[in-house]
Amino acid sequence: MKLRKENIQSSLRCWFAVCLFLLCVITLSSRAVYLQLLAGESLREKGDEVAVRIVNVPVHRGALMDRNGEQLAISTPADSIWAEPRKVLMEDKKYLLALARLLGMPQQKLKKFLTDRIKRDFVYLKRHAHPSLVEEIKNLGVQGVSTQSEYKRYYPAAEVTAHILGYTNVDDQGQEGIELAYDKILRGKPGKKRVLKDRLGRIVRNIESVRSSEPGTELKLSIDKRIQYLAYREVVAAVRHHEAKSGSLVMLDVKTGEVIAMVGQPSFNPNNRSWSKNTTRNRIVTDVYEPGSTMKVFTVIAGLESEIFTPRTIIDTSPGVFKVGNHSISDHRNYGHIDVTTIITKSSNIGASKIALALKPEFFYGVLNRFGFGQTTGSGYPGEQPGVLRLFNTWSEQDIASLSYGYGVQVTPLKLAQTYSVIANNGIMLPVSFIKINKPKTGQRVISENIAKQIRDMLETVVSSEGTASRAAIKGYRVIGKTGTAHKYNPRGGYFADRYRSLFVGIVPASNPRFVTVVTIDEPNKEKGHYGGAVAAPLYSKVMEGTLRILNIPPDNLNSFNKSIIANTISGEILQGYK
């Protein structure tokens, strides 16, 4: 009986185990069926939300090239370090300490940074990190920290082209200069792709392309890198020598309106973001100033157009002082009775004033307005200022006299270059271009070809031994130019007695004008000279001599060229004799 009872109990235990096993199998099978068939799609979507991401496919920004194809701005690959704050804060303290040490910040600062952004899924820890740092971060293996491929802008010429090119921000978006002006076509369009990531946020598989990327468009600029380097070197040297506040040079191609060179000092390095905002300003297009005696050319043009004056008309400038209202106008010395050409040659304030006062104000204004004073050049360069030209109905006699020799009107160096290019281009004004032009655009006639030629003949005397800019001469070439020396305006009223802006505008070669160049030196040390002919003219001569040589432009003053060769030969023979 006892044995039978034990058999029954054993049998029950066996059946219980079997039933329990079957129940587990049925339960697990039911769960598997539910997960695979009924809830499978929903679970896959939830899994994808965790592991599948849509990420941007970065594209490189379009390169900037000079007119000869030399690289001025390029985009190079760079990795940025990012994190998911929640995951990083869950890591062991030793990993957080190591991460902070690699990033070069205190642990508490990093912890606070992540804590303040704990609800975010993405924060940058370091943009455009050094490759060695990226490698160390990867090897550290902190959960929630990963890297992202991007592009970083690089400028091979650095300070030399900084003002004309501008720069981009950390997101590779144009902020100044050409980079800003043409940002839309340079930037391109990033693509998007769907990827699978592991628990550390690393991409383990590309799933599909969502949107194809479009790289930025390459731009070929009008500037010549060789001439840009030459101009920058000489401007830096001149500013240092004259202990000046700043200096600039802009060169235009007379035939096309292209900007061949544009440099400013002080400059900045766009590859290093530690510069001050003030140094990034391109003074050639953003700063307006009174052009001084360079304005006398346009006064004479108005006089010639009025037919009251000719290049040989005699004007009495004696005794060297001329009173207009309560204002006394003086020349460097008493030039007596001189013709209109000599007014330009000697840069007579009195002569220019008498020409302007003989004209109807509306007529004088009309001539200046045709040249575009008070307007921009239309170059499209960001921040370009239009300058100032007040309406003629507000002018007094004193205003007219001052205007005739460059006070009461304001221009940018770029605008001044464009106005002089009209004289060089036989009276035709062309739009200014920073992009290389293959076919010259149609210009607008401003003055007659005859007047343009007469003015060029007058301006050539300025660079003679009798003129104010003999130091602008270039051996072997006929040079056209005009000096300017303007007292700087005092914001408190009037003008500074000992602060000047020295200018020179030059055109070369005179026989077939090719380039117009404006040189400006701001506040040169008076003890080392402050007149445009002594400060700006020599700088012009050095830059243009090198430019003409670089571009193989033939001499147009063979007498001067031959004399130079003979002098060098004789000098060489003398030196040989000493040997």
CATH label of the domain that carries residue 205: 3.90.1310.10
The verdict on residue 19 lying in a domain is no
Residue carrying structure tokens 């990420």: 55
Range of the domain at 344: 225-566
Active-site residue list: 293
The verdict on residue 410 lying in a domain is yes
Q: Domain total for the chain?
A: 2
| Mean pLDDT to the nearest integer, 83-97 | 83
pLDDT bracket for residue 55 (50, 70, 90): low
Same domain, 155 and 104: yes
| 441: CB partners within 8 A, 6+ apart | 256, 257, 430, 431, 433
Same domain, 213 and 232: no
If we measure between CA atoms, which residue out of 168, 226, 307 comes closest to residue 551?
226
Check whether 256 has a pLDDT greater than 90: yes
| Mean pLDDT to the nearest integer, 512-521 | 97
For 336-346, write each residue's pLDDT tens digit. 999 999 999 99
Same domain, 411 and 537: yes
Specify the pLDDT at position 73.
96
The verdict on residue 306 lying in a domain is yes
Q: What is the DSSP string of 81-96?
A: EEE-HHHHHTS-HHHH
For 287-327, write each residue's pLDDT tens digit. 999 999 999 999 999 999 999 999 999 999 999 999 998 89
Q: Answer for the pair 228, 160: CB distance below 8 angstroms, yes or no.
A: yes
Same domain, 203 and 231: no
What separation in angstroms does the CA of 280 have from each of 101, 213, 270, 283, 284?
34, 32, 9, 9, 12
Specify the pLDDT at position 566.
44
Check whether 334 has a pLDDT greater than 90: yes
pLDDT bracket for residue 557 (50, 70, 90): confident
Same domain, 201 and 341: no
Give the pair of three-digit tokens for residue 148. Answer: 């992202």
Strand order in the sheet with 203-211: 52-57, 191-197, 203-211
Same domain, 133 and 268: no
Mean pLDDT of the chain: 87
Q: Answer for the pair 545, 517: CB distance below 8 angstroms, yes or no.
A: no
pLDDT above 90 covers a percentage of the chain that reads 61
Q: What is the CATH number of the domain that holds 398?
A: 3.40.710.10
The verdict on residue 329 lying in a domain is yes
What is the torsional sign of CA 421, 426, 429, 430? negative
Domain boundary among 160, 188, 220: 220
| Mean pLDDT to the nearest integer, 270-288 | 87
Same domain, 169 and 308: no
For 165-197, write each residue's pLDDT tens digit. 999 998 889 999 999 999 999 988 876 656 666
Same domain, 247 and 365: yes
d(CA 439, CA 471): 35
Check whether 387 has a pLDDT greater than 90: yes
pLDDT bracket for residue 22 (50, 70, 90): confident
Specify the pLDDT at position 14.
76
Same domain, 354 and 379: yes
| 263: CB partners within 8 A, 6+ apart | 160, 163, 164, 228, 231, 232, 235, 248, 249
Same domain, 428 and 301: yes
The verdict on residue 423 lying in a domain is yes
Specify the pLDDT at position 29.
73
The verdict on residue 552 lying in a domain is yes
Beta bridge partners of 445: 428
Same domain, 363 and 386: yes
| 550: CB partners within 8 A, 6+ apart | 224, 226, 227, 230
Same domain, 315 and 332: yes
pLDDT bracket for residue 401 (50, 70, 90): very high
The verdict on residue 44 lying in a domain is no
pLDDT bracket for residue 56 (50, 70, 90): low
pLDDT bracket for residue 203 (50, 70, 90): low
d(CA 517, CA 413): 9
d(CA 495, CA 264): 25
d(CA 444, CA 428): 5
Check whether 38 has a pLDDT greater than 80: no
If we measure between CA atoms, which residue out of 228, 223, 254, 161 comes closest to residue 553?
254
Amino acid at position 107, single letter: Q
The verdict on residue 355 lying in a domain is yes
pLDDT above 70 covers a percentage of the chain that reads 86
Domain boundary among 156, 186, 220: 220
Domain boundary among 186, 220, 254: 220
